[in-house]
């Protein structure tokens, strides 16, 4: 094939012949392409009249980021580990770092700081290159950049880098740890529990929070990242049998924070914290409350060392107080379950017995909490879906078809009728559980669907079953209402933006549960400083101390 006819213009790169390649679309600027071969390869340079005297810049090798020394392994001389996250080219928050150091010294903990990278063109330094991949001197002795097991059931994902402005930092990581739980370094505090087959403990995924100050770009993503930037860490306690207990550290603006019953200050000191403002229990589901949860929370024979003894909450929140198994509407077409209830020695078909037991739990365990706290404790019973099932039965069922519960049914209906009244927006009537709670646990406060309960600017009235605008409730929906909330309902603990969700206090599983489960025994605490943490329980224990 003959060589294309060349032009008189030489190639600006190799000096070889070129040919015309027409004109640039929409203009009269001529285009050219080189025809010469350089060591058997065509030069291929394309240029125009405007660039015919300009040589291409030689391709430069990609710069190699500097290597920052990191810790070789986790300490084996302790059973307490602290993990936080630090952004490159960003100073630590001095107050939080001092308080974190106080926690490290107090608990003889192994402190680890996960390296975080973020290129911020409008941040503390306007131009960022590989020379900016440095971390402040305070964190260098604790730098961690590996993926390693903390114990057999949990691993730290130190080598997994997620953009600091990620909206959902845990999305896509559900299977990365296999059957183990995992901790991810990230400045946004998040928690997610992954369903596992029956017989296996659910997988917990948790982010750490940051020890460095907020340093984000002035963009939408940067503004959102700064809004959710949390001064915090994850603390993990490992028991001798390999069981782990992990929870969140969430610091105040000055850097101080509370962990359990101790406040850690910005001057390297610690002191006893005040009483917790509230304890939101996982769904109670009497009479199917797990004795191991009762043991960890209130104690069986003695309250010493329990959650209420250490945290001393001023308020206790109860969701799904009664399971209402006795006349569950899901059992309408279950004749064999009805037969079993009738013949059971547990009185599982007796509505009065079930309601009395649930109210007794509130009264008794509130008294236990008062003894442990050495002061008054107020219990709040939330309006919940399982409690509503009791009201639904009274509204829709025929007492004549239920001789076992006929008397209790009629007494309940009478009390509800006597409590019915008109309001400016219509007619209201009390719930079926509420009319008996006034008698069986009179000191408890029964919340309605419209009774706000704000504790340290956190809305605690919602159970979580009913979402915004009448939709079904879930943690994602409640995370978008613009107010911090504590909910329950799903039996699955979680943290999404400003929404915290408690787990369950019931047996796992209950009779209606099917398939892989993310249910977990856990409560949410609101500390004296207004910050929250989720406490998980296992085998009647809630910590390792």
pLDDT of residue 455: 99
Same domain, residue pair 43 and 172? no
Assess whether pLDDT exceeds 90 at residue 10.
Answer: no
Same domain, residue pair 131 and 6? no
- The total of structural domains in the chain comes to 3
pLDDT of residue 12: 80
Q: What is the pLDDT of residues 320-372, one digit of tens each?
A: 999 999 998 888 889 999 999 888 888 899 999 999 999 999 999 999 999 99
For residue 430, give both structure tokens.
Answer: 């009390």
Same domain, residue pair 365 and 461? yes
CB 270 within 8 A of CB 486: no
Q: Which residues contact 71 (CB under 8 A, 6 or more apart)?
A: 112, 142, 143, 144
Q: What is the pLDDT of residues 217-271, one digit of tens each?
A: 999 999 999 999 999 999 999 999 999 999 999 999 999 999 999 999 999 999 9
Assess whether pLDDT exceeds 50 at residue 126.
Answer: no
CB 405 within 8 A of CB 328: no
Cα separation of 532 and 442, whole Å? 29
b/e code 250-267 from CB counts within 10 Å (16+ = b): bbbeebbbbbbbbbbbbe
End-to-end CA distance of the chain: 85
pLDDT of residue 3: 55
Please state, rounded to an integer, the average pLDDT across all residues of the chain. 92
Q: Which residue has the higher pLDDT, 193 or 126?
A: 193
Q: Which residue has the higher pLDDT, 17 or 488?
A: 488
Q: What is the pLDDT of residues 165-178, one digit of tens each?
A: 999 999 999 999 99
Residue 47: band (very low, low, confident or very high) from pLDDT cuts 50, 70, 90: confident
- 357 lies in a domain? yes
Q: Which residue has the higher pLDDT, 344 or 4?
A: 344
Assess whether pLDDT exceeds 60 at residue 128.
Answer: no
Same domain, residue pair 407 and 524? yes
Assess whether pLDDT exceeds 90 at residue 16.
Answer: no
pLDDT of residue 59: 46
Assess whether pLDDT exceeds 90 at residue 433.
Answer: yes
C-alpha pair distances (Å), 514 with each of 72, 288, 337, 403, 518: 43, 17, 17, 32, 11
C-alpha pair distances (Å), 3 with each of 16, 18, 326, 339: 13, 11, 93, 95
Same domain, residue pair 471 and 362? yes
Cα separation of 91 and 213, whole Å? 6
Q: Which residues contact 39 (CB under 8 A, 6 or more apart)?
A: none
User: Average pLDDT of 407-421?
Assistant: 98
Residue 68: band (very low, low, confident or very high) from pLDDT cuts 50, 70, 90: low
Same domain, residue pair 139 and 263? yes
- 73 lies in a domain? no
pLDDT of residue 26: 75
Same domain, residue pair 491 and 363? yes
Assess whether pLDDT exceeds 70 at residue 40.
Answer: no
Domain endpoint, select from 255, 272, 289: 272
Same domain, residue pair 379 and 468? yes
User: Average pLDDT of 469-489?
Assistant: 97
For residue 296, give both structure tokens.
Answer: 């960890």
Assess whether pLDDT exceeds 50 at residue 283.
Answer: yes
pTM given for the model: 0.87
Specify the range with the lowest mean pLDDT, choosing from 49-58, 140-149, 276-285, 481-490. Answer: 49-58
Assess whether pLDDT exceeds 70 at residue 503.
Answer: yes
Residue 36: band (very low, low, confident or very high) from pLDDT cuts 50, 70, 90: low
Cα separation of 311 and 388, whole Å? 31
CB 242 within 8 A of CB 152: yes
Specify the range with the lowest mean pLDDT, choosing from 121-130, 425-434, 460-469, 527-536. Answer: 121-130
- 71 lies in a domain? no
Same domain, residue pair 201 and 292? no
Assess whether pLDDT exceeds 90 at residue 123.
Answer: no
Same domain, residue pair 309 and 453? yes
- 184 lies in a domain? yes
- Structural domain span for residue 301: 278-536
Domain endpoint, select from 237, 272, 307: 272
* HEC per residue, 39-61: CCEECCCEEECCCCCCCCCCCCC
Residue 132: band (very low, low, confident or very high) from pLDDT cuts 50, 70, 90: low
How much is the CA Rg of the chain, to the nearest whole Å? 31
Same domain, residue pair 252 and 313? no
Assess whether pLDDT exceeds 60 at residue 2.
Answer: no
Give percent of the chain with pLDDT exceeding 70.
92
Domain endpoint, select from 213, 237, 272: 272
Residue 54: band (very low, low, confident or very high) from pLDDT cuts 50, 70, 90: low
pLDDT of residue 35: 76
Same domain, residue pair 456 and 517? yes
């Amino acid at each position: 094939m003959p060589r294309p006819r060349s032009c008189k213009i030489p190639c600006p790169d190799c000096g070889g012949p070129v040919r015309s390649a027409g004109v640039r679309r929409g203009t009269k600027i001529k285009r050219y392409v080189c025809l010469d071969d350089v060591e058997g390869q065509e030069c291929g340079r394309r240029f125009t009249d405007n660039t015919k005297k300009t040589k291409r810049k030689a391709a430069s090798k990609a710069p190699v980021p500097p290597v920052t020394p990191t810790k070789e392994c986790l300490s084996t001389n302790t059973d307490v580990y602290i993990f936080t996250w630090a952004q490159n080219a960003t100073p630590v928050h001095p107050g939080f770092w001092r308080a974190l150091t106080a926690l490290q010294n107090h608990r003889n903990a192994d402190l680890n700081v996960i390296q975080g990278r973020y290129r911020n063109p409008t941040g503390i330094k306007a131009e960022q290159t590989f020379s900016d991949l440095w971390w402040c001197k305070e964190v260098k002795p604790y730098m961690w950049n590996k993926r390693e097991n903390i114990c057999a059931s949990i691993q730290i994902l130190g080598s997994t880098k997620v953009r600091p402005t990620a909206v959902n930092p845990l999305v896509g990581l559900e299977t990365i740890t296999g059957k183990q739980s995992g901790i991810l370094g990230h400045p946004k505090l998040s928690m997610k529990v992954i369903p596992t087959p029956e017989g296996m403990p659910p997988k917990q995924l948790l982010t750490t929070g940051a020890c460095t100050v907020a340093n984000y770009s002035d963009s939408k993503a940067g503004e959102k990242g700064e809004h959710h930037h949390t001064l915090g860490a994850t603390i993990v306690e490992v028991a001798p049998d390999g069981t782990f207990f992990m929870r969140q550290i969430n610091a105040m603006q000055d850097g101080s924070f509370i962990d359990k019953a101790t406040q850690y200050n910005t001057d390297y000191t610690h002191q006893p914290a005040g009483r917790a403002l509230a304890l939101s229990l996982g769904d109670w589901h009497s009479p199917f409350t797990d004795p191991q949860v009762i043991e960890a929370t209130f104690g069986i024979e003695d309250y010493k060392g329990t959650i209420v003894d250490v945290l001393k909450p001023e308020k206790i929140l109860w969701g799904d107080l009664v399971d209402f198994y006795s006349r569950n509407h899901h059992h309408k077409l279950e004749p064999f379950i009805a037969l079993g209830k009738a013949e059971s020695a547990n009185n599982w078909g007796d509505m009065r017995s079930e309601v009395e037991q649930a109210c007794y739990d509130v009264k008794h365990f509130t008294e236990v909490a008062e003894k442990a706290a050495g002061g008054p404790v107020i219990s709040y019973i939330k309006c919940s879906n399982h409690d509503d099932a009791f009201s639904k039965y009274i509204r829709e069922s025929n007492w004549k078809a239920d001789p076992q519960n006929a008397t209790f049914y009629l007494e309940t209906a009478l009390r509800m009728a006597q409590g019915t009244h008109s309001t400016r927006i219509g007619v209201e009537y009390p719930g079926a559980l509420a009319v008996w709670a006034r008698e069986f646990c009179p000191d408890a406060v029964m919340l309605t669907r419209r009774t706000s309960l704000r504790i340290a600017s956190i809305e605690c009235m919602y159970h979580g079953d009913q979402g915004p605008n009448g939709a079904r409730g879930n943690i994602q929906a409640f995370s978008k209402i613009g107010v911090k909330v504590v909910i329950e309902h799903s039996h699955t603990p979680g943290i999404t933006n400003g929404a915290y969700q408690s787990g369950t206090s019931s047996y796992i599983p209950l009779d209606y549960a099917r398939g892989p489960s993310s249910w977990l025994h856990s409560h949410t605490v609101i500390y004296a400083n207004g910050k929250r943490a989720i406490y998980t329980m296992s085998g009647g224990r809630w910590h390792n101390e």
